[in-house]
Structure 1
């Protein structure tokens, strides 16, 4: 089967920059232009709007200078306006050689924004196109609000397209400017236009106001369009544009008759860079590029992956330079944990695995998120707990800390099945806790080991807010030993480490 090649034009640097609060610097635009054309391998990029600002001019000049040296200048496009040639002069000075001329694609916009008749608008457009031709600038042409034009003023749209047949243009760009099209309308309108104007190169430019942009893109391709306009992370005005990563995956997986040149493995990298430059985070559940989209959470899914990959689909993370992950939380089963242990090169017995699973579920019930980096700490904590018989239990405590008042703690500790309660103050919550314990042990005439060192650690590389590990070194009769506590709260993790110390000390006594 001969595939139909489709051009992908990325407009992140122009239309995507219309995302509220987003403005790329000249160096950021150049960096992204390089990645989009040379690494991601889109066919064209729309990088700016003419005459917007001095900064925009400088960014275009840097991009066109680089693109000229790389033989890519024809792939760099600028949005221009019907302004008597002012945009063309701006482009010539900046080095840009392809204009995407913005014109009115609906009678409503023409009447109420420009207050002109179609013949007047067409005459103005013809002048700009002729001037561009004389300057050696290639022209593509946007029919702004084309989708509403087809709904409400179809005769005008066809009158306009008939006019364009005699004009020096390379592409007709049809935007769903307000994101109002349904998939059915997208196919109907474009199918009629493609059949009526077979010599036109037609691009579809979808917006996502109803979350239909990817579905509309699929229907535009079915109708026979020649190109698509997309943005990284679906950036753009209001709800944004059709997202590049999702569309690429959909074409590759569901439309075998379509050929595109985009390099899938670079999608995630470029997505992350755009997010970093803009400060706009990527939703964790965003298809292809979200943090969680290749993460199995339910234990039954991880178990299924061990049995002929029962929960895999064609969206394999390796396609996009990513890896499948197995989340650790209250829905985790042993299979999730085993998957993470394998990656860490660790192994546990069945009994040890049960204990670690129970601890992770306990953390999940507290709505705490556990990551792979936390796992060795959990194992150390859980398996270390069982090595000493427990005869001392810290049954309850109240920690208070108020501005202008000294921290205090009330503690109830069970020692060999008897409950003791004391209250004390200290320089901090844990110091107050230790002072209350000393009161208990002083009354029993039992010595307490001396605290030698106190360290708090967060698992290296973890982005989890679930855990911190407190490691305390104690001295007892000239011998030193260490205990560890693990919890999301630093003071509580220290108390857990202290409870372990009390049991070791009790065993020694």
Structure 2
């Protein structure tokens, strides 16, 4: 049996742009339109509202010029209004070929906003459709507030639909404008409509005010809908629209009776581009495209993945151009660390692995996540620490750095069980620390090695909270040696490296 095809219409560039504070430039609109149609293989896109602004006109003109060359003009739509032909004239100048005509889908909106009778509204709509046809523009019709119309004035909705099916309309668009539908309502309302008009193409346009948009999309499909409206990252007014990413995954995995043509592997890259253009961060836990959704944090989960993929489901990250990650932090176990070591091509013996695991747990208490790229530094730090016995310990310190004042350090050092405390200033916090340390060593008539090189590294691609590896080269009695310190704070990492140096010298 052949699967029923569901059209996907993306309205990121029109309804998604109604997200508070979001406005795409003409160049950004063109880039997103190209990716939606060619990279993701979206069936149709809604790119603007007619007559809104000069910037909107330039954006539509640029997209339509490109679409004309590619043969995509019938896949690009513009929201238009029942306004005596003003929208049609605007669309003609911009080169647009498909109008999504905004009309009233509830008696409440018609009566209180337009203050017209159904017959008056239908007459004006017929005139708008006829004028569009005369100018080579095809028409889809939005029934604004349709969901409330079905609840409160269903007789009006069916009166309107009886009229619309007599018109040269390509599609009828059913929006849950205020996001008020629950799944059972969605199924009931759309089933009634598809049963009464089995040969008409209906689209469902969900909003996410109750976080039910994807559930409502599923019920619309079950009820026989022909098309769905979505936005990248679920952008849109208030709580946004049905998210493209989740809609695609849910249909592909749970609705075998229908098919869509979206290229899943490009969803993540397009999502990240839209995030960049809008400045709206994708929540880390957002399904499909969030940073954390393919990251196992608990060690028991990584262990289960090693044992026949016990914690895998059908949402394999590779489907969406992503990879599974195993977070490193205070909830990590050896299995998480082994997974990350495998990716780096590293292997540790059981004893060293235990020490590295403990060190990661300690770091996790200071820093929420340790990255895979941090691992080589941690291994180096841990294995290096085993080469000496700590006879000298930096018990505590206070680092002070204030604008207009020289940095200072108060240091408490324990040498063979004896406590020493000193304060000193310096050209920087670490210099002040070294000056305080020098005072203590002079008191003990001990000689400090000379610092000859100081280097700081962070893993490639890290952010400002990355672990720092401070590598200090010292010279003592004509011999050079290096010690390393690791911490998310550069000065603290240098102090750790210095403590190692003090212990290496007294061996």
State TM-score, norm by structure 2: 0.98
Structure 1 residue 454: Cα displacement: 1.7
CA distance in 1, matches of 2:327, 2:496: 25
The equivalent residue for 1:419 is: 419
| Structure 2 Cα separation of the partners of residues 400 and 168 of structure 1 | 77
How far apart in 1 are the matches of 2:416 and 2:299?
39
Partner of 2:320: 320
How many pairs align? 507
Query: Cα deviation per residue 1:97-156 (whole Å; 9 max; x = unaligned)?
Result: 110000000111111111111111111001001111111211000000000111111111
Residue in structure 2 matched with residue 77 of structure 1 by the alignment: 77
Cα deviation, 1:223-265, whole Å, max 9, x if unaligned, reads 0000000000000000000000000000000000010000000
Is the Cα–Cα contact under 8 Å of residues 100 and 140 in structure 1 kept in the other structure? yes
**1:223-238 equivalence runs, <5 A:** 223-238=223-238
For the residues of structure 2 that align with 1:421 and 1:12, how far apart are their CA atoms?
A: 63
Q: 1:216 to 1:297 in 2, by over 3 A?
A: same
- Contact 2:393–2:415 at 8 Å: present in 1 too? yes
**TM-aligned CA deviation for residue 344 of structure 1:** 0.6
Partner of 2:95: 95
Q: Out of 290-299 and 400-409, give the one that drifted further.
A: 400-409
Contact 2:367 2:488 in 1 (8 A): no
Given that 2:458 and 2:466 are in contact with CA atoms closer than 8 Å, whether structure 1 keeps it comes out as no
- 1:134 lines up with 2:139 in the alignment: no
Give 1:423 shift.
2.1
Distance in 2 (CA, whole Å) between partners of 1:429 and 1:225 is: 67
Contact kept, 8 Å, 2:469 with 2:484, in 1: the verdict is: yes
The question of whether the paired residues in 2 share the 8 Å contact of 1:369 and 1:466 is answered with: no
Matched, 1:162 2:140: no
CA separation in 1, counterparts of 2:464 and 2:214?
A: 33
Distance (Å, rounded) in 1 between the aligned partners of 2:368 and 2:87: 55
Moved more, 467-476 or 420-429: 420-429
RMSD: 1.1
Q: Which residue of 2 aligns with 1:143?
A: 143
Q: Unmatched 5+ residue regions in structure 2?
A: none
Moved more, 9-18 or 429-438: 429-438
**Take 1:223 and 1:327, find their aligned partners in 2: how far apart are those partners?**
41
Which residue of structure 2 lines up, in the alignment, with residue 476 of structure 1? 476
Deviation at 1:382, TM superposition (A): 0.9
Describe the SS at the equivalent of 1:453: strand
Structure 1 residue aligned with 2:342: 342
Query: Equivalents in 2 of 1:269, 1:140: separation in Å?
Result: 30
Instruction: Give distance in 1, aligned partners of 2:24 and 2:233.
Output: 15
SS in 1 for 2:440: helix
Aligned equivalents of 2:71 and 2:405: distance in 1? Answer: 71
Match in the other structure for 1:302: 302
CA displacement 1:157-184 (0-9 Å, x = unmatched) = 1110011121110100000000000001
TM-score by length of 1: 0.98
* Structure-2 residue corresponding to 1:407: 407
Q: Cα distance, 1:80 vs. partner?
A: 0.3
Alignment of 1:274-293 (within 5 A): 274-293=274-293
Q: Distance in 1 between matches of 2:306 and 2:462?
A: 26
**C-alpha offsets along residues 265-310 of structure 1, whole Å, 9 cap, x if unaligned?**
0100110010011111111110000111000000000000000000
CA drift of 1:314 comes to 0.2
Structure 2: distance between partners of 1:389 and 1:353: 20
User: Do the aligned partners of 1:369 and 1:464 also contact (CA within 8 Å) in 2?
Assistant: no
Can you list the C-alpha shifts for 1:406-438, whole angstroms capped at 9, x where unaligned? 332222222223222222222222122111111
